[in-house]
Amino acid sequence: MARLVLFGPPGAGKGTQATALSKILNLIHISTGDLFRAAVAQKTALGIQAQQYLDKGELVPDEVVIGMVRERLGRGDTHSGWILDGFPRTIPQAKALESLLIEIDQRLDQVINLKVSDDVLVARLLSRGRQDDTEAVIRRRLQVYAEQTQPLIQFYQERQQLINIDGNQSMAQVTQAIEQAVTLLDHSL
Ligand code: AMP
């Protein structure tokens, strides 16, 4: 049982790794990006609100994302553990997650930081072909990451919750490295 945040720049492989790990470790995979893309496709009120931000590579406003995560974590299926993919992405989101977890009496175990070199990131992003993966939007997402998301590394380091993983390795090697780190942690509890 684990409650994890998968953290890293766009193109680090968060989605791929979260999908693999959620199966191996039997955790609920919560991807805020996927939830937004589904809402946009279904043209829900949330989707209509979020679309303009996704299209530009900007972050959806904190209160909107936090509300969505609060709703998702509040569902009954999250008691056996989860993996957050793409959230939190700002300091206010991380602080809101802390308060939310206290409220629902859950605890974040670890934040897995996928460290990937810039060359590998751009190559992965360009080969992915998602609708929001045009070069201009990719560049903006990397900039937004550096400005708003990267400060979370220090935030979680200070709380001694950060585990660094070399994300330049093959997909299977990265999965194995994370799995090992999480299992070690579980046994030390
Ligand atoms: P992702 O699939 O994680 O790369 O997310 C795709 C897009 O969804 C991002 O570029 C943002 O526009 C939006 N998004 C996803 N997660 C968040 C978040 N935690 N905060 C703000 N915007 C988000």
Instruction: Tell me the angle at which helices 32-41 and 45-56 cross, rounded to the nearest 10 degrees.
Output: 120
Give residue 124's pLDDT: 86
Provide residues with CB under 6 Å of ligand 1: 10, 32-33, 36, 53-54, 57-60, 65, 86-87, 89, 93, 141
- Can 14 be counted among the known catalytic residues? yes
β partners of residue 165: 114
Q: How far apart are CA 120 and CA 122, in angstroms?
A: 6
What values do phi and psi take at 183, rounded to 5? -65, -45
Give residue 127's pLDDT: 86
Which spans in the chain are helix H? 14-24, 32-41, 45-56, 62-73, 91-103, 118-128, 135-144, 151-158, 171-188
Q: How far apart are CA 57 and CA 111, in angstroms?
A: 23
Residues 82-104 have pLDDT tens digits of 999 999 999 999 999 999 999 99
Q: What predicted TM-score, i.e. pTM, was given to this entire model?
A: 0.94
Feature table: binding site for ATP: 11-16, 128, 169
Q: How far apart are CA 108 and CA 160, in angstroms?
A: 11
Give residue 125's pLDDT: 86
- Ligand 1 atom 5: residue of nearest CA: 33
- Can 89 be counted among the known catalytic residues? yes
pLDDT < 50 positions in the chain: none
3-state SS, 106-158, equals CCCCEEEEEECCHHHHHHHHHHHCCCCCCHHHHHHHHHHHHHHHCHHHHHHHH
- Can 130 be counted among the known catalytic residues? yes
Give residue 128's pLDDT: 79
Give the distance (Å) from ligand 1 centre to CA of residue 166: 22
Feature table: binding site for AMP: 32, 37, 58-60, 86-89, 93, 130, 141
Give residue 100's pLDDT: 96
33: Cβ–Cβ under 8 A, 6 or more apart, which residues? 15, 85, 86
